Each structure stands twice: as C-alpha cells, then as structure tokens.
A = this chain, B = another copy of it.
C-alpha cells in the first residue's frame, strides 16, 4: 500500500458550513430536490432508475447551493432561482455520467458508477436526457440572460473536457495550460451557478461580476484540492479512489510540479508511469515520494489557497450579512476539505 499524505484538516468543522447552508436554505433546497426528482421522471423506466441511483449517491449539492446563495445575497424574493439551481445540478450530473464513461471509472462517491451497473450506452444517453431536462428547467426560469450564461458554460465545460482528453499522458503541459482546463471543466460551472442567482434578481453588472469571480476562483481552488486529494486520501465513503488520476495518466497540478522540479531520473519516472496503461502500486509509492520531495502537494494546496483568497476578496464589496459570512466559510471548506 502506498504511503498516505495527510492533509491537515478538521473534517467536522469543514462539513459544518455545508450543514449550515443546507439548513439556512432548507425551504429552497427542498424545492430544488422536488424539482430534480420530477425532472428525472420518464415513462422510460431506465431513466428514473438511473436517476434514483444518482440521487441515492447524493453529492454535496454545492453548485445549486451557490445559485441559491447568489439569489439570496442579492435580495431576490422570487422563485426562478429554484429551476436554475436544479438545472445547474443536472448539468453537473450529466457531466459526471459522461466523465465516468470517458475515464472508465468504476466508482463514484463510494458507489459503483451508473456505467458499471447499466453500461456505457445508458450513461451517455441518460446524461443527454439530463442535459435536455436542464435546459427545459432553465427555459422555465424565463431569463434569456441566465440561459446565455448556462448554455455558454455547457459548451465551455465540454471544451475543457476535450482539452483534458487531448492532454492525457502529455507530461509536457504547462501550469498555465492546465489552469485553462480547470477553469473550463470545473470553474465555469461554479461561476455560472452563482452568477445566474444574481441575474434573476436583476443585479447590476458589478455585483454579477463579483459573484462570478467568487465562483470561478472557488471552482479553481476546489479542483486543485481535488487533485491533491487524489494522492492524499484512501478510498473514503465520499471520495473518489486513491490514485485514480495517477492510474488514468491524468496530468494534474501535483504531477506538473513534480515533473518540472524533478531531476533527470524523476522526469524519466513521470514520463514512464503517466504513459503506462496501468501503473503499479510500487509506482504509486514512488510517485508519492517524489511528490513529497518536490513539495508538490503542499504547493498545490498553496495555489488552491491563493484562489481561495481571491474568491474571498471578490466578495469584499458586499455589506456584511449571514450569506456573505457563509460564502466566505464555504471557501475555507473547499480548501480544507478531506473529501
């Protein structure tokens, strides 16, 4: 078994803010859940079946919470943030269904992936269905501006995924290039999620921009932590599998850093294992050693922290409020989480 890098984090404290948010927005959260269930309904049995599997697998509902928070912090009192929040989570879930196919993933959130239970074809098609339903919910919110933001995000996310695919096993990519992938595949939806909350409330441009910036930076921080966790966590009830990125030949920030900072021997190692169809546990052990030596994990966490600070600063123009306080705490959750 490979050595585990421990991240300093208090899981209890971290989870508190998600609980707080869910309870602060409990009425809205309940409406979003009802709307999601309704929109997984179909006369084709396989759809609600896979839908139930996904709902059961849960997930943090981080993105729809951002939409709800974006609406609340801008004083929105209507109901259009509900379909938008549900649409955002559907977009996310559709992406996960397709990602599992693209990555050949067996497990997701501690459960077998839909593709393991129902096959790749069903995962692709039910993902398409969810994307279609997401757009139907967006249309129901009757905001062309929100539709513009979310349809743009849908294209950008796919673009990011294609870019990641093209970068697979390419050890030579730069940190800048990698950040473009992260901004597209992860941060674009965080940004859009909170932005549309501010859009339905008719907020002025500077407010919308500030929240979008918060979401984008939070998303980058979230993804970088995710990258670090792949090398730091064993299989947990919530997380993905330890070493998954490594075995799939995914070039993430820790690897980019360790490769660039390494000596000839280390670079040769990274070049070899990242291209190897299935790296061994010994390889993973060796990788962890090199990551430690080059301080690649700590510095990935530092980078995440940098984006976390930017996310917080983006909120500076908002007057003090409970929601603002919670959004600030959410940044800490994302950069300190263990899962």
> CB within 8 Å of B: which residues of A?
42-47, 95, 98, 101-102, 120-122, 124-126, 128-129, 131-133, 135-136, 138-139, 142, 144, 147-148, 151-159, 161-163, 165-166
Contacts and interface: CB of A to CB of B under 8 A. Distances in A.
A203 to B, nearest CB: 19
Contact of A139 (B95, B122, B147): B147
A176 to B, nearest CB: 13
Given A166-B44, A166-B46, A136 B155 contact: yes
Nearest to A94: B128
Nearest to A91: B132
Contacts of A147: 135, 139, 147
Contacts of A132: 151-158
Contacts of A133: 155
Contacts of A144: 139, 142, 144
Given A142-B144, A144-B142, A144-B144, A136 B158 contact: no
This chain: how many copies in the complex? Answer: 2
Contacts of A158: 125-126, 128-129, 131-132
A98 B123 CA distance: 11
Tell me which of A43, A122, A159 has the highest count of chain B C-beta atoms within 10 A of its own C-beta.
A159
A168 to B, nearest CB: 9
A155 B159 CA distance: 21
Nearest to A118: B165
A259 B154 CA distance: 44
A251 to B, nearest CB: 15
Contacts of A45: 166
B136 A151 contact: yes
Contacts of A138: 151
A166 B121 CA distance: 10
A151 B139 CA distance: 8
Given A147-B139, A147-B147, A151-B136, A44 B159 contact: yes
A125 B129 CA distance: 15
B148 A139 contact: yes
Contacts of A157: 128, 132
Contact of A152 (B126, B128, B136, B166): B136
A193 to B, nearest CB: 16
Contacts of A156: 132
A165 B129 CA distance: 13
5 contacts: A45-B166, A128-B158, A131-B154, A132-B157, A135-B154
B161 A128 contact: yes
A44 B163 contact: yes
A1 to B, nearest CB: 30
A136 B151 CA distance: 5
A122 to B, nearest CB: 6
Contact of A159 (B42, B121, B151, B162): B42
B131 A131 contact: yes
Contacts of A120: 101-102, 120
Given A44-B159, A135-B155, 14 more contacts: A44-B163, A47-B162, A98-B128, A101-B121, A102-B124, A122-B162, A124-B124, A125-B162, A129-B158, A131-B131, A132-B151, A133-B155, A135-B154, A142-B144
